[in-house]
Copies of this chain bind each other. A is one copy, B any other.
Amino acid sequence: MPGKTRTQTPKTNPVRVRRARTDIREALLESALVEFGAKGFDGASTRSIAKRVEAHQPQINYHFESKAALWTASVDYLFGLLGQALRGMVPADLAGVGAQEIGPAFAEGIRRFVRFAAEHPELNQIMVHEGTAATDRLAWMTETHVKPFFDAIQPAWQLLRDAGVAAPIDGQILYYVLVGAASLPYVNAPEVRLLTGREPDDPEWIEAHASGLVAILLPGLGV
């Protein structure tokens, strides 16, 4: 879509004030997350992303290659945070691990995921925006970031089902039940405020939500 050649000579302009910033890359990254999460890739404009942190639109193409590259960098950054939040939740090797150990660990993983979804709603907002159409962005995000997460859950869930701790739901379906149930109040927080008058960022909401999910997904946990 871009212009390729320049025919006219820009006018010289007299005075120019200039702001120097060292955190501009990170500022643009986080602004992009908020805008992409709220409006989707197409709905978010590079001008609004820049304006939100008092930067200029061409700085995006300078510090990143393109709008698409900024999106990729933002998603990389956010999945990195998710990885930190869930680090060590699922053992790499399940051999010899019993349901009595992995059950509480899985429950804690659910709680952490709910808290992360509340603290960083942009992640699930972007995932759900992108997941509605088969784009290159979706293919990249799914293969790079979602699949490892998805694959790690499957054997642990099967172990818990065999032990009678987990609810009777197929593992692949469970993934979407879990992610959907855990993220929607934060993905659609503006709607929650209109519909309930409550604030889904309230710790009371978040902990009640997390406990509810653990109760219905792992009914065999309670001693």
Contacts and interface: CB of A to CB of B under 8 A. Distances in A.
A39 B133 CA distance: 7
A interface secondary structure, majority: helix
Contacts of A142: 191, 194-195
A212 B38 contact: no
A182 interface: yes
Contact of A133 (B190, B196, B208, B217): B190
Most buried by B among A40, A131, A146: A131
Contacts of A130: 191
B179 A132 contact: no
A133 B191 CA distance: 8
B195 A150 contact: yes
Interface string A137-154: 011001100110010000
A183 B180 contact: yes
Interface residues of A, number: 61
Contact of A181 (B146, B180, B209): B180
A147 B129 CA distance: 23
A150 B128 CA distance: 22
A42 interface: yes
Interface stretch (A17-25, A73-81, A89-97, A162-170): A162-170
Contact of A167 (B127, B180, B187, B215): B215
Given A134-B194, A142-B195, A216-B217, 16 more contacts: A38-B133, A128-B184, A128-B187, A129-B129, A131-B187, A132-B187, A138-B194, A146-B191, A167-B212, A169-B216, A172-B195, A178-B181, A180-B180, A180-B182, A180-B184, A184-B184
Interface of A: 37-43, 125, 127-134, 138-139, 142-143, 146-147, 150, 167-170, 172-185, 187-196, 198, 205, 208-209, 212-213, 215-217, 219
